[in-house]
Amino acid sequence: MTPDDLEKDVLQTVAHWAYVRHVTLVDKTEHALKMRLHIDSACFIQIYANPSKSLFSYTLVLNRVRIFGRDCDGGIWHRHPFHDPESHDFSAEGSSSITLSEFLAEAQHILQNVGIL
């Protein structure tokens, strides 16, 4: 999958999530893509993907700090849990693969719990 294909997939997926206000393309190279899904002025989800290296990152950011995330490095997933986003959760649940839509559902749940949505 190329970065152009990934960008199209992200835009199609995000279209189903009303809490994402707008999307910006931060960077795109021959092999990688970085996008931001803006929720409000202080909150966004950053997506990074480099399929040729099996690197994927979904990060929920609030006030310039990661509050939750899911990463895949070389095909191995882990979670940065909301209660301790600097840690790496490799439990069965934390290491399960996840789609962007599934991450957006998790992020929505967190944002509702903290009163942003």
What pLDDT, on the 0 to 100 scale, is given for residue 1?
A: 85
Per DSSP (E only), the strands in 30-74 are: 33-40, 43-50, 55-62, 65-73
pLDDT per residue as tens digits for the range 29-81: 999 999 999 999 999 999 999 999 999 999 999 999 999 999 999 999 999 99
pTM of the full structure = 0.95
SS3 60: strand
